[in-house]
Structure 1
Amino acid sequence: MDIIFNPPVNDENQYIRLLVDELRAKGYRIHPLDTLFSSRKHFRSIKLVHLNWFENIDDSSFFVALRSFLRKLIVLVAIRISGKPLVWTMHNRVSHEQGTALFSRAITALLLRWSHRIVIHARQSEGIVAAHGVKVLQRLVYIPHPNFIGVYGAVHPRHAQGSDKLHLLFTGMVKPYKNLELLIDVVGSFGEQVQLTIAGKALNERYEQQVLNRAQHMGNVTLLPYFVPDGEVAALLADADAVVLPYDLASSLNSGTAILAFSYKRTVICPEIGTISDLDQHMGDTFHYRYGTEEQHRRVLREQIARALKLKQRDPAALDNLGNQLYEYMAAVHDRQRIGWELDRVYQHVLGRAA
């Protein structure tokens, strides 16, 4: 069966590859959205369209954003008129690109209205979507985020730290909504007791310099300002006691980086975004928190880092034990093959071929 799964490739996000591999194993022929209008024959051959992050608008300039918005609007209208089943995965509360919020909200509204199924990876999504009515809620399908176990190689053995310092890691795209300046300030207040590594490519050179300037004032922050090669991910995680992800609660919902940490036996320090809330009884294996204001965020983040530091000093194996429990949970609940079957079942229902 020919379907659009967009994007079909993302070199910086293995999430896409994992799902595409599972779908191809079940006989689906995957095509990018850009080919949808390549010919009448191809357009007619496409049985279903599945979109990821389609609501995100390029905000490099107003005119670029307007062009991006209009193109996406035309694509959605064409899909709607053609009658092709539309599946959309809801990844965030709102788009992280705040400069194009109006355009993003408009595309999101159409996706909520026109999608035959809306895949969610976090139960918190139900509360967000509820404001759009009962009919939208009826089209939600919860499917766990696939784990990353083994994707970046085997879990590396833990290196002997030789001290009671707490080694924290932030990894992922370096963007403003991830509150890295706040994190650097908080970690700096601990002095040599806490070491932080920030590993990831920045949104742009200007923001990279902004974060670098902040980090240089602290003696306990190391910045690795590049996309971490796949072959280095496991070793980077093995060097950390915990992964710290001080995301913006206003927009964040799912975290592939948190799933990555759990898949490599690391716990996290993170706000109670959907990924964390869905851990249920295993939330206690993380250092989770809530906040309302930036000042509250600063205070509770510091409290959780201090708690992790104290726990490591009391029992050097304690943080590793938390990571081991989260790994077992990932293996059982976020199994990739099971998720592939669930997505296949969604497609078959939408196409009216369910058994």
Structure 2
Amino acid sequence: MDIIFNPPVNEENKYIGLLVGELRAKGYRIHPLDTFFSSRRHFRSIKLIHLNWFENIDDSNFFIGLRSFLRKLAVIIVIRLSGKPLVWTMHNRVSHEKGLAFFSRTITRLLLRWSHRIIIHSRQSEEILAAHGAKVRQKAVYMPHPHFIGEYGAETNPTELHGLKRLSLLFTGMVKPYKNLELLIDVVGEFGDQVQLTIAGKAIDDDYRQQVAYRAGQAGNVTLLPYFIPDSEMGAVLAGADAVVLPYDLSSSLNSGTAILAFSYGKTVICPEIGTISDLGEHMADTFHYQYSDREEHRRALGKQIKQAIALKRRDPQAMDRMGRRLHAYVADAHDSRRIVVTLDNIYRELIKR
């Protein structure tokens, strides 16, 4: 069965590879969106289109953004006119790219209206969709985000962390403004030698990399690894942290693959109550979670959670390891990609039979 799953490849995000691999194992032939119009025969052969992050618009400048918007608008109109089933995965509350928000909002509204099914990875998404009406809410299908156990090499757990009084924190992922790294660096800087923060990830552009590097240098207890961490090294990078800290923007963030990555390698997180965290249920107690309504409250709430983590490590050096182990066991069961793709396969088959 020929389908479009877009993007079919993402070198910086194993999420795509996990799902595509399982779909291929079930007999699906996966094609990128760019081939949709390559020939009449190919166009007719495509039975279904599944889009991820399609609402994101390149906002590096207006003309590039306009071109991106018009191209996506044309594609989604053609998909609509073709009558082919459309599936969209809702990854965020809104696009993180704020510069040309009108373009992104327009594409999102069309995806909400024209998608036959909307895949959601957190229960918070249901509330957001309900605000768009009952018909939109009825399209939602919950599917856990797949875990990453074993995907970044073997798990290691260096015992030397237990002997350090200093709290070792890690931020990893693309270094982008919505992730509040400036705020994180400022808060961590206030703790001096009680905390060591490592920021590991490639910046969205060189200007932003320099901004973060300058801030990190001013703090004095922040190490910057300003490059994409190879898969073979990620396990070791995670092993060197007591916890992963993710001070995301609640206005746009909903799900976090990085939080799932942390759990997959036995690490707890310090993170706002985005959908991924809220879905943990009783296992929320194994994380340092918080809420905030503005930047100043975010600063205070993040600082409070870091302070609690410092105190916990001093009181019981292995406590965070136990929290991470429980989270690992939870995602190993509830976020298994093979079980998840059974749900996706059922959705596809139901839509194609229509």
TM band (smaller chain)? over 0.9
Matched with 1:327 is: 328
Root-mean-square deviation over aligned CA pairs: 0.7
Q: CA deviation at 1:175?
A: 0.3
Retained in 2: the 8 A contact 1:159–1:239? no
Q: CA deviation at 1:159?
A: 3.8
- Counterpart CA distance in 2 for 1:159 and 1:73 is 53
Instruction: State the AA in 1 paired with 2:171.
Output: F
Instruction: State the AA in 1 paired with 2:135.
Output: K
Q: CA deviation at 1:304?
A: 0.1
Query: Any runs of at least 4 consecutive aligned residues in structure 1 with deviations exceeding 2 A, and if so which?
Result: none
The alignment status of 1:48 with 2:48, answered yes or no, reads: yes
- Counterpart CA distance in 1 for 2:353 and 2:305 is 49
Matched with 2:227 is: 226
Matched with 1:217 is: 218
Matched with 2:291 is: 290
Q: CA deviation at 1:156?
A: 1.0
Retained in 2: the 8 A contact 1:198–1:223? yes
Structure 2 length-normalised TM? 0.99
- Counterpart CA distance in 1 for 2:27 and 2:259 is 30
Instruction: State the AA in 1 paired with 2:2.
Output: D
Matched with 1:4 is: 4
Segments of structure 1 that go 5 or more residues without pairing to the other structure are none
- Counterpart CA distance in 2 for 1:264 and 1:271 is 20
Equivalent residues, number:
353
Instruction: State the AA in 1 paired with 2:349.
Output: Q
Retained in 2: the 8 A contact 1:159–1:238? no
Q: CA deviation at 1:158?
A: 2.0
Matched with 1:28 is: 28
The 3-state SS of whatever aligns with 1:160 is helix
Q: CA deviation at 1:329?
A: 0.2
Deviation digits for residues 255-295 of structure 1 (CA, Å, limit 9, x no counterpart): 00000000000000000000000001100000000000100
Segments of structure 2 that go 5 or more residues without pairing to the other structure are none
- Counterpart CA distance in 1 for 2:351 and 2:153 is 36
Matched with 1:261 is: 262
Matched with 1:134 is: 134
Instruction: State the AA in 2 paired with 1:101.
Output: A
Q: Which range moved further: 148-157 or 22-31?
A: 148-157
- Counterpart CA distance in 2 for 1:171 and 1:226 is 10
The 3-state SS of whatever aligns with 2:100 is helix
The alignment status of 1:281 with 2:286, answered yes or no, reads: no
The 3-state SS of whatever aligns with 2:253 is coil
Q: CA deviation at 1:65?
A: 0.4
Instruction: State the AA in 1 paired with 2:285.
Output: G
The 3-state SS of whatever aligns with 1:213 is helix
- Counterpart CA distance in 2 for 1:53 and 1:61 is 19
Once the two structures are aligned, what percentage of the paired residues are identical? 71
Instruction: State the AA in 1 paired with 2:261.
Output: L
- Counterpart CA distance in 1 for 2:131 and 2:43 is 34
- Counterpart CA distance in 2 for 1:100 and 1:119 is 25
Q: CA deviation at 1:157?
A: 2.6
Question: After the TM superposition, which residues 77-116 of structure 1 pair with which residues of structure 2 at under 5 Å, given as runs?
Answer: 77-116=77-116
Matched with 2:178 is: 177
Q: CA deviation at 1:348?
A: 1.0
- Counterpart CA distance in 2 for 1:273 and 1:31 is 32
